[in-house]
Amino acid sequence: MKYNTVQKWIVQPVYLAALVLVFLAGCKEEPIVYNTSESVNMTSYLDKYPDQFSEWRKVLELTNTAGFLQAYGSYTLFLPTNDGVKAFLQEKGKTAVEQLDVTELKDIVKFHLLSDTISTTKFNDGKLPSLTMQGQYLITGAANVNGATRIIINRQANMVTANIKVGNGVIHVIDRVLQPSKLTLAKMIEANTAYSIFTQALKETGLYDTLNIAPASNPDAKKARLTALVETDAVFKAAGFNTYADLKARFSKTGNPRLVTDSLHMFMAYHILYEAKYLADIVSAQSHATLANPEIITAKLDDELVLINDGVFNNIYEPGFTLGRTISDNSATNGVMHVTAPYKPANLSATSGHFAIKVRVPFRVDWDVADFPEVRKLSVFRNTGTANFVKPSATAPFQIGGWDFFYRNASTTIGYVNATGGWVYNDYLNMGIGLSSRADWVKMKTPLIVRGRYNVWICYRTLQQSGNGTYPAGSRCQSQIIIDDGEPLAKTHDFCEPMPSGSTAELEALGWKYYTSPVTATNFNSWVAKKVGTVDIKTTDNHILMFKVILGSQSQSFLDMIQFIPVDAPSQIIPRFKTDGTLDNTPLVIADRKI
Amino acid sequence: MIRNTIIKATLIVTLVMASSCNKWLELKPQDGLVREDFWKTKEQLQSAVVGCYASMVSGGQVANLFIWGEIRADMITLTTNASVDETSLTNGEILSTNAFSDWGTLYSTINYCNTVIQYGPGVISNDNTLTQAQLDAYLSEAYSIRALMYFYLLRIWGEVPLQLKASSSDSKIEQLPKSTKEQVYAQILSDLDFAVKYIPFTYGSQAMDKGRMTRYGVYALQADVYLWNEKYAECITACNAIINSAKFGLIDGSSQSNWFNTLVFVGNSNESIFELQYDSQILNPFYAMFSPATTRRYLAASRVTDNMYGIDTSDPNKKDIRSDAGFVRASDFTIWKWIGTNDLTITRAQPDSYAHWMVYRLADVLLLKAEALAWTSKGAEALALVKTIRTRAGAVSASEESPDPSNAQDISDYILRERGREFAFEGKRWFDYLRNAKRNNYAHLDLITSMIADIAPPNRQQSMISKYRDVRSHYMPIFLNELNTDKQLVQNPFYQ
């Protein structure tokens, strides 16, 4: 059949071709994986989405950074979208990125880059943990607009897409270009006419120059970045200073504010903190050093308010002032600027926001170690009973806030004991310290101690668990006393050591005394105080006192009180303490006693 | 002839081969049951129902219930042993990679329930001894547990896929889109409507009545669900069904140690309505979570012992039985409810860690009712119920409030604080905050933001407040793995 032949004529080559095709296809190479990871690096990621990032890609090309963002490493890139770059161009009055100044552009690109991988879980209210490559910190936050919350970067851009993982780091897509600050702290303060008194004071004291150095060219690394707490003219006026002249008249004692010893200089230096500290950093620590060394400011968070120098001093509440949330956290090239604001405590009149160094006279601190917030809420507190405080694990914080404790195991404890035989308020701490089976050391947070020179008295109960009365034979529990990780105090302290005999004056000369009223017999089991040394307290602050055991261990080491008594106090001995906590101001006369 | 022999030989060989092939070709497992052989007797049906309960006490379910209910609220703090994911939850840094955004344990229980609901009705045709009433009772248990699980899903994620069919094999797995909150809520109610008709009042023993869902358990769940959706009249009706039954009572609190022992340490008390049962064979996950002898991850927050229960300054011996030595050990912030014993110096050892997890108890029902009463202009009745709870607990005057009986908001806030004291660490705190904050179109969002201001780390406080001001952040993200496997799922908007 003709049709059949024609068909064959056509069809056969088709079959053949199909066959060849099948063979050819069968010969196709298996794909070999050359890469260890499918994820792209930063530059390739930009190339993948030109509709979103082509503008920034051009910027990278212009600034010669495309290459290194393609290399392996660990970076964080804040990546502006095309719309963001366009808005930036508009602001600059340009129509294309090519028209921008390349040096300035380089700075901006570096400001978007960190050599660390930082995901949003590390964001907080303040600066990111690492500097940008440009040298300034980026700050983060979150803002709620009409019910929807977005992460904001440097108060300039909103987060669009966070935490995109690429081969060489993390990308956060943002909707605007971030721009680094161009002003130094000094210039930033000067630029605001509402800070004219503060500015003039900075200039007169010479601190203006301290605040006017770019971090890279600052010879003093400690002062490369600083934080200024600025008082506005309004604050000064509310505090009674209408002009700089008023301020100078009040503070400058030498007439030359440039002298570091001049009170006006110190006043201004007290307004400057070391390091770039945003509000989030300020509320994260209790105290901050100022340039007016050794004066510090204290900080705390009360509900949402940042309170500075607000606290109880020697049993009197001293209201502080706030750093306004909306007007603070201003980034300068070399630090941060905050602005002080009044604070109105409940039932008290408002403060002005003006603050100065307070002249504190050293005063005696009778520190009842068995009185801290954690024990106050227990029913045993000043009410017969025992409570043990432990450290749940080696890395866990000690149960008493601000204290620390060597963790040998979960059963190493410090016990609060309230029992007959206790002294001040009938209670004391049973220090679970000692070598080999107990805690090697314990660190205790002191109450506020004013800068000054003090004798340190350890008030304890002489007690030897074995070999009672045979000291230095028998039980020992001997520690060095160390304050703020400094040198150990002159003498060691031993819970087993008895007081020698002698008259009141002889004992005091030897560094011993009775702190109780009435006195307990000078044998074992008596409450006595030993002077372990004299210490220079350098800042008015809470300090850390450490018992560091060097010999022995016993399960019953009773500590009642630690006294810091100024060396020039009228008496190292009176007042003494009764068991109910009241004071006895009568002089103690002991002619001589034998054990 | 030869041919004949060959045929015969072939026949014999074939016979031998064919018979020996029998086992070899068998596809059924020889050491287990397949579905076709199951679902034949009522005993098998019962064991399948028991499986629903078993799935709740295993696989990290209860640990999750604790975390979902407490970690974003104000009653616990994390130790340094807590995982990064746990810390992220308390810091308001929740990503879809966070392990606690995985709803797997809840859906696994739901699947057990779905299996019973799907295959249970077929048993009646095989087993004549199974009555319709018995079958309905078993099905009711499955329906009510499924409702409980969806209620958790509703409160934690908001919009979730409604999986109502058993996925007995891989081929049966469906890719489902999310249902709206209203659809999930409607499904919970319809499950409970079935259960409330057929589920027994009692199974004949105290342990069974507290360990399995009963009619009262269903009422309690109904009350909770209705209150969540602001259906106050329905909530009160459900509560009354329990209260008026006179089958439950508050455990006497005049002796703290007896009360602790009966209600918490032994469990299945007269106050209890439904609790997940543990014993020496099936231990709870609490030892590793709360025991001071381990690298525990959770402590009671200091505000619990400092402020919540208060101290009677006039008489130091008078204290709220729910405070120190009740639900918490104040000296070291141990979560005493789940790990404590009758001796304050001794915590449960690992082999003794079988405190039951409380789901509903009478105190809960009384306070749910009080809240519903407060919002239906019956403030005085509501305050009377709160007083009942407080009197039993010996609450001190420091924690007492006297809101205006006509002010629903003030009473409701007082109830919220009392619920914190009463249900400390029972995995209810966050849901209580959320329910109260979202009432009347989030009229009281500040309840959550002020709580967050209090618990946030100082350097994150402002960001966290801003985040929680976005009400979409109150629901968890869908776990990344779920998004990857079910392409129909869409991430919750806050996390997109």
Element (H, E) at B238: helix B232-243
CA A361 to chain centre: 27
Work out the minimum CA distance from A307 to partner chain B, whole angstroms: 12
| pLDDT value at residue A37 | 66
A311 & A429 share domain: no
Interface membership of B474 toward A (CB under 8 Å): no
What would the mean pLDDT of B473-482 be, rounded to a whole number?
A: 93
Amino acid at site A421: G
Q: Is residue A247 part of a domain?
A: yes
The more confident residue out of A304 and B187 is: B187
Tell whether the torsion through CA atoms of A516, A520, A523 and A527 is positive or negative.
negative
A307 & A228 share domain: yes
Work out the minimum CA distance from B205 to partner chain A, whole angstroms: 40
A120 & A240 share domain: no
Instruction: Give me the residue label for tokens 């002032």.
Output: A321
Is A395's CB within 8 Å of B330's CB? no
Instruction: State how far the Cα of A319 lies from the Cα of A348, in Å rounded to an integer.
Output: 9
Instruction: Give me the residue label for tokens 């400094």.
Output: A486
Let me know: does A360 contact A540? Beta carbons within 8 Å: yes
Amino acid at site B223: A
Query: Roughly what angle, to the nearest 10 degrees, separates helices B362-374 and B232-243?
Result: 150
What residue ranges define each of the domains in chain B, with the CATH number in brackets? 35-79+100-199+468-496 (1.25.40.890), 205-279+298-424 (1.25.40.390)
Query: Is B123's pLDDT higher than 80?
Result: yes
**In CATH, what number is assigned to the domain containing residue A533?**
2.60.120.260
Work out the minimum CA distance from B100 to partner chain A, whole angstroms: 15
Is B80's CB within 8 Å of A379's CB? no
- Of A174, A197, A214, the last residue of a domain is A174
- Is residue A192 classed exposed, middle or buried when 0-12, 13-18 and 19+ CB atoms within 10 A define those classes? middle
Residues in chain A with CB shorter than 8 Å from the CB of B81 are 393, 395-396
| pLDDT value at residue A397 | 80
| pLDDT value at residue B277 | 95
3-class secondary structure per residue, A321-359: EEECCCCCCEEECCEEEEEEECCCCCCCCCCCCCCCCCC
pLDDT tens digit sequence for A172-198: 999 999 999 999 999 999 999 999 999
Interface membership of A436 toward B (CB under 8 Å): no
Let me know: does A460 contact A499? Beta carbons within 8 Å: no
Is A410's CB within 8 Å of B292's CB? yes
Q: Is residue A29 part of a domain?
A: no
Tokens read off for A189: 């303060």
First to last CA, chain A: 141
Q: Is residue A594 part of a domain?
A: no
Read off the DSSP letter of residue A481: E
pLDDT tens digit sequence for B7-30: 777 666 665 555 555 555 666 777
Q: Is residue A26 part of a domain?
A: no
Residues in chain B with CB shorter than 8 Å from the CB of A429 are none
% of chain A surpassing 90 pLDDT: 49
A475 & A442 share domain: yes
Let me know: does A79 contact A46? Beta carbons within 8 Å: yes
Is A141's CB within 8 Å of B463's CB? yes
Tokens read off for A539: 């800042």
- Identify which of A121, A125, A388 has the shortest CB distance to residue B331: A388
A408 & A507 share domain: yes
pLDDT band, residue B31 (cuts 50/70/90)? confident
Tell me the CB-side half-sphere exposure of residue A554, using CA atoms within 13 A.
Answer: 21
Amino acid at site A477: C
Instruction: State how far the Cα of A414 lies from the Cα of A429, in Å rounded to an integer.
Output: 7
Interface membership of A378 toward B (CB under 8 Å): yes
Is A163's CB within 8 Å of B296's CB? no
B337: nearest Cα among B98, B104, B70, B85:
B70
Enumerate residues 6+ apart whose C-beta is below 8 A from A261.
Answer: A254
Q: What residue numbers bound the domain in which A566 lies?
A: 365-584
What would the mean pLDDT of B102-129 be, rounded to a whole number?
A: 93
CB pairs under 8 A between A and B: 108
Enumerate residues 6+ apart whose C-beta is below 8 A from A32.
Answer: none
Is A325's CB within 8 Å of B458's CB? no
- Identify which of A149, A325, A388 has the shortest CB distance to residue B469: A149
- The residues pairing with A385 across neighbouring beta strands, listed in sequence order, are A418
- Identify which of B292, B324, B465 has the shortest CB distance to residue A378: B324
A518 & A382 share domain: yes
**Strand ranges inside A319-451, DSSP E:** 321-323, 330-332, 335-341, 365-368, 385-390, 404-405, 413-418, 427-430, 441-449
A304 & A393 share domain: no
The pTM of this model reads 0.78
Interface membership of A242 toward B (CB under 8 Å): no
CA B10 to chain centre: 67
Instruction: State how far the Cα of B275 lies from the Cα of B110, in Å rounded to an integer.
Output: 18
A157 & A266 share domain: no
Burial B411-424 (b: 16+ CB within 10 A, else e): bbbbbbebbbbbbb
**In CATH, what number is assigned to the domain containing residue A124?**
2.30.180.10
Q: Is residue A240 part of a domain?
A: yes
Work out the minimum CA distance from A38 to partner chain B, whole angstroms: 17
Interfacial A residues in 163-222 facing B (CB < 8 Å): 163
- Strand pairing class (A365-368; A558-566): antiparallel
Read off the DSSP letter of residue A570: S
Q: Is residue A336 part of a domain?
A: yes
What would the mean pLDDT of B240-247 be, rounded to a whole number?
A: 95
Total Cβ atoms within 10 A of residue B220: 27
| pLDDT value at residue A10 | 59
Interface membership of B314 toward A (CB under 8 Å): no
| pLDDT value at residue A594 | 42
3-class secondary structure per residue, A27-73: CCCCCCCCCCCCCCCHHHHHHHCHHHHHHHHHHHHHCCCHHHHHCCC
Work out the minimum CA distance from A188 to partner chain B, whole angstroms: 25
Instruction: State how far the Cα of A278 lies from the Cα of A285, in Å rounded to an integer.
Output: 12
Work out the minimum CA distance from B340 to partner chain A, whole angstroms: 16
SS3 B69: helix
Residues in chain A with CB shorter than 8 Å from the CB of B93 are 120-121, 123
Instruction: State how far the Cα of A100 lies from the Cα of A97, in Å rounded to an integer.
Output: 6
Burial A250-269 (b: 16+ CB within 10 A, else e): ebbeeeebebeebbbbbbbb
Residues in chain B with CB shorter than 8 Å from the CB of A141 are 462-463, 466
Interfacial B residues in 381-420 facing A (CB < 8 Å): none
Interface membership of A281 toward B (CB under 8 Å): yes
Is A393's CB within 8 Å of B317's CB? no
Q: For A494-560, where are the alpha helices, taking DSSP H only?
A: 504-510
Is B459's CB within 8 Å of A399's CB? no
What would the mean pLDDT of B482-490 be, rounded to a whole number?
A: 90
Backbone dihedral region for residue A534 (phi beyond 0: left; psi -120 to 50: alpha; all else: beta): beta
A421 & A443 share domain: yes
A136 & A236 share domain: no
- Of A341, A373, A403, the last residue of a domain is A341
If one counts the domains in chain A, the total is 3
pLDDT tens digit sequence for A194-244: 999 999 999 999 999 999 999 989 999 889 999 999 999 999 999 999 999
Closest residue in B to A125 (Cα–Cα): B460
Work out the minimum CA distance from A525 to partner chain B, whole angstroms: 28
| pLDDT value at residue A1 | 46
Is B461's CB within 8 Å of A125's CB? yes
Tokens read off for B332: 């070291």
Residues in chain B with CB shorter than 8 Å from the CB of A126 are 459
Let me know: does A389 contact A413? Beta carbons within 8 Å: yes
Let me know: does B385 contact B369? Beta carbons within 8 Å: yes
Q: Is residue A507 part of a domain?
A: yes
- Identify which of B80, B316, B459 has the shortest CB distance to residue A126: B459
Instruction: State how far the Cα of B62 lies from the Cα of B57, in Å rounded to an integer.
Output: 6
A302 & A434 share domain: no
Residues in chain B with CB shorter than 8 Å from the CB of A151 are 463
Work out the minimum CA distance from B137 to partner chain A, whole angstroms: 46
pLDDT tens digit sequence for B362-419: 999 999 999 999 999 999 999 999 999 999 999 998 899 999 999 999 999 999 999 9
A370: nearest Cα among A362, A380, A361, A360:
A380
Residues in chain A with CB shorter than 8 Å from the CB of B333 are 399
pLDDT band, residue B312 (cuts 50/70/90)? confident
SS3 A190: helix
Closest residue in A to B310 (Cα–Cα): A377
Q: Is residue A424 part of a domain?
A: yes
Q: For A196-296, where are the alpha helices, taking DSSP H only?
A: 196-205, 207-210, 233-238, 244-251, 263-269, 279-282
SS3 B211: helix
Tell whether the torsion through CA atoms of B331, B337, B340 and B343 is positive or negative.
positive
A222 & A300 share domain: yes
Is B324's CB within 8 Å of A379's CB? yes
Residue of A120, A123, A124 to mutate, testing the B interface (most B Cβ within 10 Å of its Cβ): A124
Instruction: State how far the Cα of B84 lies from the Cα of B243, in Å rounded to an integer.
Output: 43
Residues in chain A with CB shorter than 8 Å from the CB of B311 are 377
